[in-house]
Structure 1
Amino acid sequence: MEASVPGYPAIADSDIDLRLIQLEANKIAHAIQSQMAPVAKGFSDFAARLENRFIKNMLVRSLKPAIVKGVDPVERDRLLSAYRTATARGTYAIFNPAMQSPPDTQLLFDPASPLAADYADADWPDEEFEEPILFYVPGGGFILPPSPKQVGLAFRLAEHCGCEAVIGKHRLAPEYPFPLPAKDLADQYEAILKAGKAPSQIILSGDSAGATLVLAMMLELRERRVPMPGGAILFSPWGDLAMRGWSYISRSLSGSSPFRMETAAFSAKLYLGNTLPTDPRASPVYADLREFPPLAIHCSRHDMHFDDAVQLAEKAQAAHVPVRMNYWDSPRHHLERFGSKDARKSFDLVAEFIDARYRRTS
């Protein structure tokens, strides 16, 4: 049985495990064994589920007034202002994992400022610099800026992979809804090219909603006929803002995800405005990925976005885009946020992916 949306590709309603087996048989999906000892993994998974439940309950309690009142603008703006300030300062626990902050010289951007001037005046890496650029878009549900430690993760990942880090900047919804954030990122990418960087020197990456924007950004670049980057890495990608995958329901009801469908729907509504969630520029699982660069997808088997990760791998395969989907048996959403052996393994796999892309195109 298939459920379809008029004008969009049908989505298979078959068991996700069967589709995963097919991807594994085609050497696209790979189950990554935990690097932790069984006792340590058991403790880590237990702690993750407790944290997930705490975050889930806190989000529901915090956003409930705005959700129940039909996204009352006054209540919404009050909540967003408080969350954005706390997140940018690094005091919002959900987006503040135990990880080092970026260098003091790397200041967070003003999410409401016009970005064109920022791009023109930016101090891009020297054009003689030999290292590739990791262009990283942190997640924040489209509505929150990155915390200092989210930015720190991007710098740690870039250092591990021998790259120069550039943080993708975009304005935030609902003040600047779809499709403006993806256009901001495409503008920033073009500014880097104009500074003298070869597209093959740039690797895109993002997590959760940041990964959504990375894919939307590449759709925008394709429409502009701008050369694509050397590759893209997607961590726990939110590919379907209509949330039609079964993992949204099953993980929302379990302790395996820090998010519930209603809080995700709240963010999606603020980002989409009146746009349908099945618009392929907003939800890349409905998009044609032809001409995309090689993709690496990292996700947990128990993540709310896992079905999206599977479908994105299938879409890439159908478009003849090289793709590898690595997945872990972990209740961590975007497990790379935490300093574990599994996170380091993920970093190693990213380094291998970037090294293969960069050596091939240099």
Structure 2
Amino acid sequence: MIDYTQLYAGIQHTPALRSWLTTLPQQVADGLNPSRWGDMADWREALENLPDINASTYSLKDEVRIGAASDATAEQLATLEAELRKLHPWRKGPWTLFDIFIDTEWRSDWKWDRVAPHLHDLKDRLVLDVGCGSGYHCWRQFGAGARRVIGIDPSAKFVAQFYALKKYLGLEKPVDVLPLGIEALPPALRAFDTTLSMGVLYHRRSPLDHLRELRDTLRPGGQLLLETLVIEGGAGECLVPEGRYAKMRNVWFFPTTATLESWLRKSGFTDVKTVDVDQTSTDEQRSTDWMRFESLTDFLDPNDPSKTIEGHPAPLRATLTATAT
């Protein structure tokens, strides 16, 4: 069921991306290799067991809603929910499939409502979503008019979750999630009209290298939308946690917005703007029946929620936009 034939054909007819075909199929095969993912066979089995249901309608503009309960039998709905739950945990969403509500850890629709007003009109644009998870924002970008959306995220489980949705939204639709990191893209590709990187920068050992990689995905004049954790303070200030941050491993740099703006200018961007700063709440990120592990409440100091459990400032997220030179 995980099949990129349609994507490869689309890339073949997109001159700016065509060179990627020399490496992409093998990169995808490596990214989905069962030797890397012990549960890959189980995820594929869950996808194969999803019932065949024709969605009478779908919505991507204001939410991701697929079909209605009346499109399926009670038995099909029970099977659908059971197989979807085998792909636990569901991090990004929410999703509604045939009136089954997948209440994900993150209210990604809230983030979309914050960032979408700052995107250039997506109509007919070629969009790259870096660190896209299971593709929630990819579908919202397509719903906003993008002609093709390519999401990349190294986790094969996110790919399985994405295909569980795409089965019912339509395998022919030009929206894809690849099991890759940004380093898999050809260098200096300069192909996309819009690139989004949300919740990635603080996981990069070298943030300036990541910003340069993002610049190199964009055509000259293309728009970057960057969302990441920041701290309050002035130009030149940055938090570098020695251990974990909010129980997260692999975290490196938390700049102020002024510092981040400077990094973007140094990395080949103009028109750099901080367009939103938002304190993450326990209503936006929390444990649910579809994500039963620890979440934000467990990552904050129980006696002072303005701090993480380690004593760092609690998560503050900023959104910036910039234009590639």
**How would you bin the TM-score normalised by the shorter chain?**
0.3 to 0.5
Task: From the two aligned structures, give the one with the greater strand fraction.
Answer: 2
Task: Considering fraction of residues, name the structure with more helix.
Answer: 1
TM-score by length of 2: 0.35
Report which structure shows greater RCO (CA 8 Å, sep ≥6): 1
